[in-house]
Structure 1
């Protein structure tokens, strides 16, 4: 097994009760149902309802994780809240709110924003900051109101119609972890920084595409291929060692192209598109949870998380399964 500085002790994903349906989006936007299904691949998916808060989902996921691992909230040294910055309220710390609700009173609480790439960034910050040789525990959570930042009455925004809501909580530690954190590589292509920009309106923010510049799909695949190679080089492994490559669920075509380019069969990834839309930062953990709960992992399996976020940033994170 590869040596690691720390890893994922446990993690959980929570979903809201609200739902967004293709029929609703069709009625609001005028875009045909077949066109919408080309993007969503499912008839409905979870979004926050009018009485639901993202931070509450984060608390639910975190509470389950802490209870399942028998972790004392007082032992948590940091709470990192990850996302795009679409919090439940402005000028406010959701990380501190989560800590308060969980009884975490001695931690440094702060936020990390890198859009749908933020959770893996938060995990890296958590691992890099662990005190060597200690039993330190760090809580990384991700939850926001991303689905509500899409104007589903705007036909030109149909490429974002699959954006839903979910929350993840990851307990990171220097010992007794189920997934060793081996390393990661990340990069940003600033030429795409203005491709999506939010607009303020009376009740919040809508994210819109600016222009119709071509080439983003190619950029996605090229960056992921490069970062897979960089990450494997960093940890001293080869592509044949990769058991699973888990990818953000924002575009099924990109996932298909990436696997084909890397000569990986579909069964070496997870496709949740028939059940879920793009669940923000939580996509790859939803897929990893499915593999773990389904008994698909063996001790020593190498799993790569390929994540991306508007801006545009990409990263590949290498985990090794240790709990089998």
Structure 2
């Protein structure tokens, strides 16, 4: 399988604040704080576009690695499919801006599991030749699809925005992709869906249905065990377990279920909410910046998405 050479995350310039959410929705501040876990977090400003954030992250990665854009064979943009413009290719836009004129550019839609799905597709044997590169862009506009005036949508009020760029190569890179395990429970397909409202798409939830939290634990635990069986490793071998930054209580519950202590994960809830598909990359970057990674360590990225899909992407840090 291939590997991650480098990655970067770019944040937008505005912030969502729970006081403004309270004014718009009438939901109590304390309840909002229990959902967002922080008083404010990054979101797109008026006129700011997600593809531009992805472009900034990609330029940072290419500058840092010194890779010429002409060597990029694939540019993939992953997210919800609600791009900055309808019926449009953000991957093609970014590739052209970078000068990656020989690349095949396309999109992958799997919501907050999209980035890891794209990495899965591009890191399989034969997807990239030795010395060939691919760029995965994780880009979405989640905050723009939240209706803060609807108290029934309060579970989505923690949706923030961030964009990431991940450079893959046919070799091992800094983070070798060891395994990818994913599955979808389509019985939840209609639980969340978009609808047109005021010249935009907003996300609405269907009538409340119990069992989603249990499904998270059940699906993730099964995927962890499946991965460890394939790799002939044990849960004790998991050096770092990083999860989508959606719900702190679920984060803790999942760590407990798989037997991974909290100090083997990353918690950024004091300043960041759910930053879409960039969550686990933000956490991985935090580990790297803090000097907490050691060669040979096993890193699991647990991602989930509307649909509902779950994924465990396992990396080995190369140093």
TM-score range (shorter-chain normalised) is: over 0.9
Q: Is the 8 A contact 2:2 2:122 kept in 1?
A: no
Task: Identify the residue that residue 186 of structure 1 maps to in structure 2.
Answer: 182
User: Alpha-carbon deviations, 1:11-46, whole Å to 9, x = none?
Assistant: 000000011001110111010100000000101000
Q: Distance in 2 between matches of 1:10 and 1:280?
A: 19
SS in 2 for 1:318: strand
Considering only aligned residues, what root-mean-square deviation do their CA atoms show, in Å?
1.0
Q: Is the 8 A contact 1:130 1:136 kept in 2?
A: no
1:262 is aligned, of 251, 258, 263, to: 258
Task: Identify the residue that residue 124 of structure 1 maps to in structure 2.
Answer: 120
Q: Distance in 1 between matches of 2:140 and 2:37?
A: 23
SS in 2 for 1:147: helix
Q: Return the offset for 1:232.
A: 1.4
1:14 is aligned to 2:5: no
Q: Distance in 2 between matches of 1:134 and 1:159?
A: 44
Listed as ranges, the gaps of 5+ residues in structure 2 are: none
Q: Is the 8 A contact 2:121 2:127 kept in 1?
A: no
Task: Identify the residue that residue 170 of structure 2 maps to in structure 1.
Answer: 174
Q: Is the 8 A contact 1:298 1:321 kept in 2?
A: yes
Q: Is the 8 A contact 2:13 2:42 kept in 1?
A: yes
1:289 is aligned, of 285, 291, 296, to: 285
Task: Identify the residue that residue 249 of structure 1 maps to in structure 2.
Answer: 245
1:25 is aligned, of 8, 21, 26, to: 21
Task: Identify the residue that residue 58 of structure 1 maps to in structure 2.
Answer: 54
1:45 is aligned to 2:48: no
Q: Return the offset for 1:130.
A: 4.3
Question: Against the structure 1 CA distance between its residues 151 and 132, is the aligned structure 2 distance closer, same or farther, given a 3 Å change threshold?
Answer: closer
SS in 2 for 1:198: strand
Aligned length: 319
User: Alpha-carbon deviations, 1:258-279, whole Å to 9, x = none?
Assistant: 0111121111110111110100
1:207 is aligned, of 203, 222, 230, to: 203
1:100 is aligned to 2:96: yes
Q: Distance in 2 between matches of 1:237 and 1:180?
A: 16
SS in 2 for 1:38: helix
> Where does structure 1 differ by over 2 angstroms across 4 or more consecutive aligned residues?
129-133
Question: Against the structure 1 CA distance between its residues 129 and 207, is the aligned structure 2 distance closer, same or farther, given a 3 Å change threshold?
Answer: farther
Q: Return the offset for 1:132.
A: 6.5
User: Alpha-carbon deviations, 1:176-203, whole Å to 9, x = none?
Assistant: 6110000111000010001001111132
Listed as ranges, the gaps of 5+ residues in structure 1 are: none
2:193 is aligned, of 197, 201, 225, to: 197
Question: Against the structure 1 CA distance between its residues 132 and 167, is the aligned structure 2 distance closer, same or farther, given a 3 Å change threshold?
Answer: closer
SS in 2 for 1:104: coil
Task: Identify the residue that residue 71 of structure 1 maps to in structure 2.
Answer: 67
Q: Distance in 1 between matches of 2:235 and 2:65?
A: 33
> How does the TM-score come out when normalised to structure 2?
0.98
Task: Identify the residue that residue 218 of structure 1 maps to in structure 2.
Answer: 214
Q: Distance in 2 between matches of 1:130 and 1:152?
A: 46
